[in-house]
Amino acid sequence: MTTVLGCIADDFTGATDLAGLLARSGVKVSLRMGVPGALPTATAPFEVVALKIRTIPVEQAVEQALQALDWLQAAGATRFFWKYCSTFDSTAEGNIGPVAEALMAALNTKQTIYCPAFPENGRSIFMGNLFVGQQPLAESSMKDHPLTPMRDSNLMRLLAPQVTQPTGLIDRLTVARGADAVSSGLKQLDKDGISHVVMDAVADDDLHVIATACRDMPLMTGGSAIAMPLPALFAADGLLAADAPRMTQPALGPSTVVLSGSCSAMTNKQVAAYTASGCATYRLDPLELATDGPGPAVAWITAQDLTKAPLIYATAKPDSVRAAQDKLGVQRAGEIVEQALADCAIAARDAGAQRFIIAGGETSGAVTQALGVDRLDIGTEIAPGVPWCFATSKGIPIALTLKSGNFGTESFFSDALSKLEPA
Ligand code: ADP
């Protein structure tokens, strides 16, 4: 069927988060890992192209986003969504603004919105400042992120060095006056030459107001939550048939592996909670990996009883991450760990694992790539924004969940295990 909304996500977990929220509507959502080589066939009403462009050089990010746009346009989409992290992960040289401007130019549109708010997960925006729970972004644990430390909370200020056109704000007071007020506010900003508009949103109702006002924009940008009202709005507008098919779970064996490369505060808690539950664990040390390679970890996972869902993790506290980065460099430390987790995933699959619980955005990208997964069908949600996904790897049906840094509660790994139907 013709695609109604074409989405481009800057990392894999962000893509599954978005796809999961869209799938809450019951409408079929298809997620492509990278820009598909072939022209679109058997497309879903909602298509999400997952890229891995959060921290790559700007020109490459723009090029890949434009290729994704071409593919989504070929699928029939006329409305597009640029998805980045709800904590606005980027540096001054980051890709959020440049990709938005490139998509705007290609779509011949002068204005777009920026709304990374995700109230259900504690991300809210007030007077253009992003909060994580009750803390401003720059005071949250995101200030210590290994690749994109966030040291400012003001989205206009974070965006300004990334774009060529002026930034502006529709504040909470306007949003509180409803969709018409938001539309008029956007028109006024457009007259004033403001192309990049940050949208305040502190609660789900705000997202609904904003989505209602912006649903016909050629391009919207944000976290996943601002897209959540779109299926119902498109259905009400008659763009979407109400009887789209639901996803079903394929038959899966019980063997499972948990792979964690995220160093976020929440993932640290999740690893601690899962370890305390008595499962077998193996800690990856970047410095040891740099000298010994991933062989010992691969040997360990191969020797495990995978029906007990063992855990391999590089997850560490900020001090320890910084120590590894000081010795190896940020990029190399990250790559060594991602490669080791990818190798362990392949070894686990070859040993019979059909269920993969993966923590970390970049980590998920590396693991899915190694498993040769190019398309995911969206299934049951485990935590807000984190669904189980179904795919094939080497012809074998597998389930994967791809959890980015701070998502889920402390019991996420065991929650994930219990959310999939038993074999
Ligand atoms: P998140 O979703 O929390 O941002 P990511 O997987 O996207 O997690 O990013 C974490 C990065 O940190 C990855 O590149 C990973 O390989 C790297 N990393 C993981 N553990 C360590 C460690 N102990 N020392 C240094 N870097 C690490």
Pocket test for ligand 1, best of 262, 311, 325, 412 (most atoms within 8 A of CB): 262
Q: Is residue 293 assigned to a domain?
A: yes
Burial of 42 (0-12, 13-18, 19+ CB in 10 A): exposed
For the chain, the helix, strand and coil percentages under 3-state DSSP, each to the nearest 5: 40, 20, 35
Domain count, the chain: 2
The residues pairing with 123 across neighbouring beta strands, listed in sequence order, are 118, 132
Q: Is residue 213 assigned to a domain?
A: yes
* Ligand 1 atom at minimal distance to the Cα of residue 338: 16
pLDDT of the residue at 377:
86
Domain endpoint, select from 178, 204, 236:
236
Considering the domain architecture, whether residues 212 and 79 belong to the same structural domain is answered as yes
Q: Is residue 243 assigned to a domain?
A: no
168, 208, 375 from 182: Cα distances, Å: 13, 11, 36
Which two tokens mark 263? 């160093």
Cβ pair 50, 16 in contact under 8 A: yes
pLDDT of the residue at 47:
95
pLDDT of the residue at 147:
87
CA–CA gap between residue 110 and residue 118 (Å, rounded): 25
Q: Is residue 251 assigned to a domain?
A: no
Full pLDDT tens readout for the chain, 423 residues: 789 999 999 988 889 889 999 998 888 899 998 999 888 887 889 999 999 899 999 999 999 999 999 999 999 999 999 999 999 988 888 999 999 999 999 999 999 999 999 999 999 999 999 999 999 999 999 999 988 899 999 999 999 999 999 999 999 999 999 999 999 999 999 999 999 999 999 999 999 999 999 999 999 999 999 999 999 999 999 998 877 655 667 899 999 999 999 999 999 999 999 999 999 999 999 999 999 999 999 999 999 999 999 999 999 999 999 999 999 999 999 999 999 999 999 999 999 999 999 999 889 989 999 999 988 988 888 998 789 999 999 999 999 999 988 889 999 999 999 998 765
pLDDT of the residue at 422:
67
Q: What is the CATH classification number for the domain harbouring 384?
A: 3.40.980.20
Which two tokens mark 167? 């930034």
* Ligand 1 atom at minimal distance to the Cα of residue 404: 2
CA–CA gap between residue 56 and residue 46 (Å, rounded): 26
Considering the domain architecture, whether residues 273 and 191 belong to the same structural domain is answered as no
Q: Which segments within 216-360 are labelled E, that is strand? A: 219-222, 256-260, 281-283, 311-313, 355-359
Domain endpoint, select from 177, 201, 236:
236
Considering the domain architecture, whether residues 301 and 342 belong to the same structural domain is answered as yes
Q: Is residue 296 assigned to a domain?
A: yes
Considering the domain architecture, whether residues 199 and 290 belong to the same structural domain is answered as no
Residue located nearest, by CA, to atom 16 of ligand 1: 334
Considering the domain architecture, whether residues 81 and 191 belong to the same structural domain is answered as yes
Strand, helix or coil for residue 137: helix
Residue located nearest, by CA, to atom 10 of ligand 1: 262
Considering the domain architecture, whether residues 209 and 311 belong to the same structural domain is answered as no
Ligand 1 centroid – CA 17 distance (Å): 19
Domain endpoint, select from 203, 236, 269:
236
Considering the domain architecture, whether residues 9 and 65 belong to the same structural domain is answered as yes
Ligand 1 centroid – CA 43 distance (Å): 33
Q: Is residue 140 assigned to a domain?
A: yes
Q: Is residue 248 assigned to a domain?
A: no
Considering the domain architecture, whether residues 224 and 296 belong to the same structural domain is answered as no
pLDDT of the residue at 28:
86
* Ligand 1 atom at minimal distance to the Cα of residue 284: 23
Residue located nearest, by CA, to atom 6 of ligand 1: 360
Cβ pair 206, 200 in contact under 8 A: yes
Residues whose beta carbon lies within 6 Å of some atom of ligand 1: 146-147, 261-264, 267, 286, 314, 316, 320-321, 324-325, 333-334, 337-338, 360-363, 404-405
Considering the domain architecture, whether residues 211 and 71 belong to the same structural domain is answered as yes
Q: What is the CATH classification number for the domain harbouring 109?
A: 3.40.50.10840
Q: Is residue 35 assigned to a domain?
A: yes
> What is the extent of the structural domain holding 18?
5-236
Tell me the backbone φ, ψ of residue 250, rounded to 5 degrees. -70, 160
pLDDT of the residue at 414:
96
Considering the domain architecture, whether residues 279 and 346 belong to the same structural domain is answered as yes
Strand, helix or coil for residue 246: coil
Considering the domain architecture, whether residues 308 and 348 belong to the same structural domain is answered as yes
> What ranges in 192-237 are assigned the alpha helix state H?
204-214, 230-236
Pocket test for ligand 1, best of 358, 363, 367, 386 (most atoms within 8 A of CB): 363
CA–CA gap between residue 35 and residue 265 (Å, rounded): 32
Ligand 1 centroid – CA 183 distance (Å): 40
Considering the domain architecture, whether residues 232 and 271 belong to the same structural domain is answered as no
